[in-house]
Amino acid sequence: MNHQLSFKAFCGQAIATLVAFGPSTVVLAHDGPDHRHAPRQVKPAEYYAPSPVPDRIILTWSGDPSTTQAVTWRTSADVEQGIAEIAVADAGPYFPKKARQVMATAETLKTDINEARFHSVEFTELSPKTKYAYRVGDGLNWSEWFHVTTASDRPEPFSFIYFGDAQNDIRSLWSRVVREAYSDAPKAAFMLHAGDLINKAEDDAEWGEWFGAGAWLNAMMPSVPIPGNHEQAKGANGERARLSHHWRPQFALPTNGPEGLEEACYTLEYQGVRIIGLDSNRRLDDQTMWLDKVLAANKCRWVVCTFHHPVFSTGKERDNKELREAWKPILDRHKVDIVLQGHDHTYGRTGLETPKVPAQTIGNVPTGLNARDEKTGTVYVVSVSGPKQYDLQRHEFMKRQAQDTQLYQIIHIDGETLKYEARTAVGDVYDAFTLQKQNGSINKLIEQIPEVPERLRATGSKEQAVR
């Protein structure tokens, strides 16, 4: 039997590859001037279509991080039942034989471009400070096995990553930031997101971009998100804003906040550090009373508080006077160590001194700056991780500011010391300080600002300038 393979090509014109196998001839490829195809734009409904295979897998906590772990994932709506499996991780490949199964709770969400099923499991009765392997699926279609390590049940050193607003061009320009942060802190305990994760509250493609930017990292490093104003959606007939219908199906968070603000306002403890997340979009008074109560009962050495709208805005002609008057006295009175915020798409960080409250404002600049509070021990930070940038409002009580700069922050807590670094999207240290606990006194602040110029626009210029 003759086997013949022939190729014919001439000066970039049509190429035909023929394979003759006995009496049969098969055309493998053909191209020519009459058969060229322009690139096709993939529509969001196609690109972000759910399937029976789990995607958008994310770790969060709704219980004690030392003994529980929550995981949520998405499938197509025809997957009625989700299952998660978990086992203590082992160096060998046989640990799946020891895995236990947990059945998921699920709900269907109809979005602007699809209908999907969101599944959630809380693993319980875990051992502290233990590495586990887990996977999620429906019994036939499974994710890969992921590793996650439970927290210690006592104070021990750890780091976490803090992001200001991602919001816009998430897949294109925010993905590099979350991945750069991971490269600097691959053993971080969690990622804290200070609101405005996306731009349009119920745009499923934007949520798809956000989950895609974190990708498998979301499934191995838990997230601690709080809602910004862009996670608020208008209800029917345009009534007052409500939390995005994506929020609760895709994040399993504590429900220990004020009634009606479950999973938007909450608190948890991680290795001796009290973490408090607030929803600065609504019901400030209810959260003020709750915050005071939580802080009064707190026994943790360190307290980290996060919410979206800044106490001291860094954006031009932006101010949150009502929030500042409601929450700052409580934060200062209880000597909260650090407050992490977003919203203003610029960077600013205070020392331990801030203007008196209530502060009068003129064009967002508090007056009476020569009459300051006593040092309270609270540091306030505003940051942005996404590409959307605003005009900067300069404040002389801010120790470091920036504009036109994407940043992420790495915070490390070890015993009596908190170390903070703000890094640019290319990994350069832009701001740094250390807080040290002092018995019977407020924290000691040690400034460690690098000797690089502040990133500020030239006066009257929309282009970035470095001063």
Domain of 87 in residue numbering reads as 50-149
Q: Is residue 330 part of a domain?
A: yes
The domain boundary, picked from 108, 127, 149, lies at 149
Are residues 60 and 31 located together in one domain of the fold? Answer: no
Are residues 76 and 170 located together in one domain of the fold? Answer: no
Position 234 scores a pLDDT of 82
Position 36 scores a pLDDT of 76
Are residues 135 and 169 located together in one domain of the fold? Answer: no
CA dihedral sign, ordered 227, 230, 236, 241: positive
| Average pLDDT over the chain, rounded to an integer | 89
Q: Is residue 81 part of a domain?
A: yes
The segment with the largest mean pLDDT, out of 9-13, 328-332, 352-356, is: 328-332
In whole angstroms, what is the distance from residue 69 CA to residue 380 CA? 30
- The pLDDT tens digits for 124-162 are 999 999 999 999 999 999 999 999 999 999 999 999 999
Residue 8, pLDDT above cutoff 60: no
Are residues 296 and 380 located together in one domain of the fold? Answer: yes
Are residues 118 and 220 located together in one domain of the fold? Answer: no
Beta bridge partners of 419: 412, 434
Beta carbons within 8 Å of 90's beta carbon, 6+ residues apart: 133
Are residues 362 and 232 located together in one domain of the fold? Answer: yes
Position 118 scores a pLDDT of 98
The number of folded domains in the chain is: 3
Position 34 scores a pLDDT of 63
Strand pairing class (191-193; 223-225): parallel
Position 26 scores a pLDDT of 47
Position 235 scores a pLDDT of 72
Are residues 176 and 54 located together in one domain of the fold? Answer: no
- The pLDDT tens digits for 378-435 are 999 999 999 999 999 999 999 999 999 999 999 999 999 999 999 999 999 999 999 9
Are residues 215 and 77 located together in one domain of the fold? Answer: no
392 or 14: whose pLDDT is higher?
392
Are residues 427 and 280 located together in one domain of the fold? Answer: yes
Residue 327, pLDDT above cutoff 50: yes
CATH value at residue 179 = 3.60.21.10
Q: Is residue 457 part of a domain?
A: no
Q: How confident is the model at residue 22 (pLDDT cuts 50, 70, 90)?
A: very low
Average pLDDT over residues 5-29: 41
In whole angstroms, what is the distance from residue 101 CA to residue 84 CA? 6
> Is residue 59 within 8 Å of residue 220, measured between CB atoms?
yes
Average pLDDT over residues 199-213: 97
Q: What is the 3-state secondary structure (H, E, C) of the chain?
A: CCEEEEEECCCCCCEEEEEEECCEEEEEEEECCCCCCCCCCCCHHHHCCCCCCCEEEEEECCCCCCCCEEEEEEEECCCCCCEEEEEECCCCCCHHHHCEEEECEEEEEECCCCEEEEEEEEECCCCCCCEEEEEEECCCCECCCEEEECCCCCCCCEEEEEECECCCCHHHHHHHHHHHHHHHCCCCCCEEECCCCCCCCCCHHHHHHHHHHHHHHHHCCCEEECCCHHHEEECHHHCCEEECCCHHHHCCCCCCCCCCCCCCCEEEEECCEEEEECCCCCCHHHHHHHHHHHHHHCCCCEEEEECCCCCCCCECCCCCHHHHHHHHHHHHHCCCCEEEECCCCCEEEECCCCECCCCCEECCEECCCCCECCCCCCEEEECECCCCCCCECCCCCEEEEECCCCEEEEEEEECCEEEEEEEECCCCEEEEEEEEEECCEEEEEEECCCCCCCECCCCCCCCCCEC
In whole angstroms, what is the distance from residue 309 CA to residue 324 CA? 9
Q: Is residue 247 part of a domain?
A: no
Are residues 5 and 91 located together in one domain of the fold? Answer: no
Are residues 264 and 120 located together in one domain of the fold? Answer: no
- The pLDDT tens digits for 105-115 are 999 999 999 99
Q: Is residue 13 part of a domain?
A: yes
CATH value at residue 139 = 2.60.40.380
Are residues 225 and 272 located together in one domain of the fold? Answer: yes
> Is residue 18 within 8 Å of residue 27, measured between CB atoms?
yes
Q: Is residue 203 part of a domain?
A: no
Q: Is residue 181 part of a domain?
A: yes
- Estimate to the nearest angstrom the gap between the alpha carbon of 213 and the chain centroid: 10
Average pLDDT over residues 364-386: 74
Beta bridge partners of 441: 438
In whole angstroms, what is the distance from residue 200 CA to residue 60 CA? 22
Q: Is residue 453 part of a domain?
A: no
